[in-house]
Structure 1
């Protein structure tokens, strides 16, 4: 059913909401996302949208998710479709499969702009803007699809002209768009002013505000910087005081979203909202409960209990079979280890704190802090200012060293300066890069820092946090072989190494997760937010090498800089090395610096 028809069928004052998901990076994550979709379907969203990877990279997974959500869980699906860096055949295939699966809703987007000559010439010039996609869908499928487009209350991040942005939006509506979903915002007044401007120029289709609950401080800062979102000072002031307390940040994210939506509903009479879930569940449910859009968990449990209570006064799970003597059977305890399913995937909050890319690879949210997929997170012109035009390995070493020393604020793998904790190992990292190990991630060993420590702390107050030292880097095949021989003599070190083609080397005999960050807090079990394992390393490997390619495409085709980056991306290895003796803070560096 079309989204606009569903909206029109509601009572005039009835609120509605929708959920947004992205394709998980791993098969385990996808399996667990389906469990999550099943539970979240009971929250009764008007529809669920599913994002589309850059260049159509997730076409099969996205269409499968839409079809599954719709056919199995009764969730009206809206498939994102981006046209930049996508050939015509890919778009035709996606639309054909969507129609075949009964999907009637498409969110037509431009996607990331092309980055360099090679990207541009490899794509279909028929599709350069979202309006081209809207026109194509209308021409090929007439009114079968309900088409949504994106709106930017604070201006398109790739444009400095908000007035022109509004004109482009009007053109997309005139070309056949049926509704608008906005980019996230945290300033309600700016959204209201923008919405009024839309109405003034004749944009009369439904405008659904995009709301992204704050799931973590670092991910919040990353996405708002990427999208150039204005953050009111009162929000920043609150977050600054609690940014080291993950639970407090998450709780504030719920409170803030409830406050924003309440203002939109009660003051401005706006009744529809699009919640960006980031493939997480608990915050979304709490927001809807606090708004009284859905019953609380306690109310739902009580309702189920009352519905299942039999006339004999006991609770029936499905069918209670009596014993031969007429008595009820004795309840058996659940033995978790005997269950064939992974019960981590059954709870709503087992992955409530996805701590960057080294969270649990089984989580639907694994490896994605913003859901936008693989791309450079800074504009090309800015990236070129930072990274210049390296033509030799020494030039490249200098780029990495400059980042470690704080002389440039970003690398392709990280668009923000290093954390304060890196100062403790800064000199080691500089020396490592000078030796030809191009570092992209690291952390020092920590033996019981207080959880409110301004440098190492995280989680609720009153606890202690621990870290194993690890370092991740790109290295030449020759240096990798020398390193592996030295690692064989050190029982404290484990490693994963892979090249672009996926050839894996490791000294880990049994594939088991390795916790490299954990915390001990009052009244809680040990929390392990950072886990390194083979499946997560492989998923990150694909992204890491894709970012080499993104960097490569900043330069003219076959230029010295492009050839250098391509050669390293094609031939060097990505290595993650962990030192498991977290009491010995310098142990990890001996493997590199001692004979």
Structure 2
């Protein structure tokens, strides 16, 4: 059914209603396990679920499959996200036709992010340059077939510094036929309430559904707020900084914060509908509903058996991937690939030049990587924040490695039983111990890679994966399904937790994004400029290599081998 009816009914009855957002995982097993998780979360009886849409329709098939499965298998109403600026008209028509055929009756109409370097970018189809174009198109060709939602930005859109203009754009989307507004994530309730009041004063009278995102981990929280340009009140940031080494406390804080936000918005602004961004995890969502006394103990019981067998014991399924740290989580997890806000940085060319200059040679690029290691450059396209404190112990080795032509984008030192409360290495619940294998990931030229892999292959304790943009691939791991835990923790009363796993599936999934960032960096410079040319040449020819030294009791060996 059209979800606007549910949204309006909740508002009329003045009771809190909730819905869940999911994204298509990057791997087959992750998707299969999400379907299984979706069945359990259906028992929480959300009013509807939504599923995100990858840039340019990159998750087209998976998004449609997730929506149709949720409807047919679990009886859930679905809201399908749809972006338009990187989509040809034929693809938009195909998506809408398939949605209609599948019984999907709700669309969240979005512009979608242009590629980085948007000063030199033009839409794929000139008919679709803004979300309003998609709203008008759907209304013109489908009438009232679809209920349409649009995005609202309580703190202003990142590409529209003029908040009055941004409000005008939202009013125009509503006037064009949008049924409701769904907000971007936020953590400043006062700012959101003020913004909603301005919406009403501006004549925007359709329901507004706040987007609530429970904090998953400290690092992913920092990444998301930076990339989405979300302001966080000082007291919240201070609270999180004080507990950032304890993932359990961060999660608990995130649940409590989400509960307080919902309660305030309901009490002070009369808001009754809330859309929870689950990041494909389930426990935090359930705990939020329990704290709000909305957990339906005798809710929907799903009698149908999922065609996908769960990877883990269902009794433990809620917890097994609750601590996703870093890009190398378990590729079987429904939350694998959770950085749906992308890993790179959206910068206009002027800011890219200010941050990274105008490199013209490979030596210029190498110096940028070295300057990042030494703190003179605060970020790189693959690394949003400065080098983590734990890398201080290997900073000089990383500098030496980069000077040899191995441009590092990820690394960690070996750790043998540090306290989980250690200020540098600690994570997870208190009174535990954490371990790490040394690993390093880097780009290297095609002239250097062959000799390097031969050298690495001589040490039985080293495993590696290597690939380039063309898809050439090399590894010394004989088992294609092997999962190598490179970070793990032992905690009181818990099973061993392995938040960082390196495997072929996750490496290949990351490879596409890693090389895509070369292209996006390249597009931040004018076509045919020296900077654009050198970045393209490097992206086309360099290899991405991931190396693990599996003897975590020998912390220096990996770096000795790299520098030998």
Query: Shorter-normalised TM-score: what interval?
Result: over 0.9
Contact persistence 1:376–1:550 (CA under 8 A): no
Give the distance between the partners of 1:53 and 1:504, measured in 2 at CA: 26
Deviates more, 1:512-521 or 1:259-268: 259-268
Matches of 1:375 and 1:420, distance apart in 2 = 21
Does residue 5 of the first structure (1) align with residue 14 of the second (2)? no
SS in 2 for 1:126: coil
Contact 1:117–1:557 (Cα < 8 Å) also in 2:
no
Query: 2:220, 2:184 → 1: CA distance?
Result: 16
1:496-507 → structure 2 map (5 Å cutoff)? 496-507=465-476
Against the structure 1 CA distance between its residues 237 and 112, is the aligned structure 2 distance closer, same or farther, given a 3 Å change threshold? same
Residue 519 of structure 2 corresponds to 549
**DSSP 3-state at the match of 1:49:** strand
Q: How does 1:342-491 map to 2 (within 5 A)?
A: 342-343=311-312, 347-369=317-339, 371-373=340-342, 375-491=344-460
State the secondary structure of the residue aligned to 1:356.
Answer: coil
Is contact 2:382–2:517 with CA below 8 Å preserved after alignment? Answer: yes
Deviations 1:117-158 (A, max 9, x none): 797346111111111111111111111111100111111122
Alignment correspondent of 1:326: none
Residue 216 of structure 1 and its aligned partner are, at CA, apart by: 0.8
Give distance in 1, aligned partners of 2:345 and 2:90. Answer: 26
Distance in structure 1 (CA, Å) of the matches to 2:314 and 2:396: 42
Secondary structure at the aligned position of 2:56 is classed as: helix
User: Are residues 1:568 and 2:538 paired?
Assistant: yes
Contact 1:449 1:456 in 2 (8 A): yes
Distance 2:46 2:387 in 1: 39
Give matches, 1:251-266, under 5 Å. Answer: 251-266=252-267
Question: In the TM superposition, what are the counterparts of 1:116-265 in structure 2 within 5 Å?
Answer: 116=117, 120-121=121-122, 123-265=124-266
Give 1:530 shift. Answer: 0.8
What's the CA shift string for 1:309-348, capped at 9, x where partnerless? xxxxxxxx99xxxxxxxxxxxxxxxxxxxx9752257711
SS at match of 2:547: strand
Structure with larger Rg = 1
Q: Is the 8 A contact 2:84 2:92 kept in 1?
A: yes
Match of 1:519 in 2: 489
Question: Is 2:105 the partner of 1:104?
Answer: yes
The number of residues matched between the two structures is 557
1:20 touches 1:48 (CA, 8 Å); kept in 2?
yes
The alpha-carbon deviation at position 160 of structure 1 amounts to: 1.7
Q: Distance in 1 between matches of 2:417 and 2:346?
A: 34
Instruction: Give the whole-Å Cα distance in 2 for the aligned partners of 1:119 and 1:139.
Output: 31
Q: How far has the Cα of 1:555 moved from its partner?
A: 1.6
Secondary structure at the aligned position of 2:13 is classed as coil
3-state DSSP of counterpart to 1:133: helix
SS of equivalent residue, structure 2 residue 14: coil
Paired with 1:340 and 1:385, the residues of 2 have a C-alpha distance of 51
SS at match of 2:422: coil
Does the Cα contact within 8 Å between 1:226 and 1:378 map onto a contact in 2? Answer: no
Q: Is the 8 A contact 1:54 1:374 kept in 2?
A: no
Secondary structure of residue in 2 paired with 1:550:
helix
Give deviations 1:439-487, integer Å, cap 9, x for gaps: 1111111122211111111112212211111000111223111112212
1:92 is matched with 93
Paired with 1:117 and 1:181, the residues of 2 have a C-alpha distance of 25
Gap change, CA 1:571 and 1:118, over 3 Å in 2:
farther
Distance across 1 between alignment mates of 2:550 and 2:28: 28
The question of 1:280 aligning with 2:250 is answered no
- CA change 1:375–1:56 in 2 (3 A) is farther
Normalized against structure 2, the TM-score is what? 0.95
Q: Secondary structure at the match of 1:358?
A: coil
**Take 2:334 and 2:18, find their aligned partners in 1: how far apart are those partners?**
21
Asked whether the equivalents of residues 344 and 350 of structure 1 are also in contact (C-alpha less than 8 Å), the reply is: no
Specify every segment of 5 or more residues in structure 1 that has no aligned partner in the other structure, as ranges. 305-316, 319-338
**2:48 is the alignment partner of 1:47:** yes
Cα distance in 2 for residues equivalent to 1:435 and 1:268? 58
CA separation in 1, counterparts of 2:189 and 2:312? 39
Matches within 5 A, 1:271-310: 271-295=272-296, 299-300=297-298
Q: Distance in 1 between matches of 2:118 and 2:435?
A: 46
After superposing on structure 2, the runs of 4+ consecutive aligned residues of structure 1 that deviate more than 6 Å are: none
User: Could you list the per-position Cα deviations for residues 479-527 of structure 1 after superposition, in whole angstroms to 9, with x for gaps in the alignment?
Assistant: 1111122122211111001111222211111231111111122222222
SS in structure 1 of the partner of residue 262 of structure 2: helix
Per the alignment, do residues 275 and 168 of structure 1 end up closer, same or farther by CA in structure 2, a change over 3 Å counting?
same
Name which structure has the greater RCO, CA cutoff 8 Å, separation 6+. 2
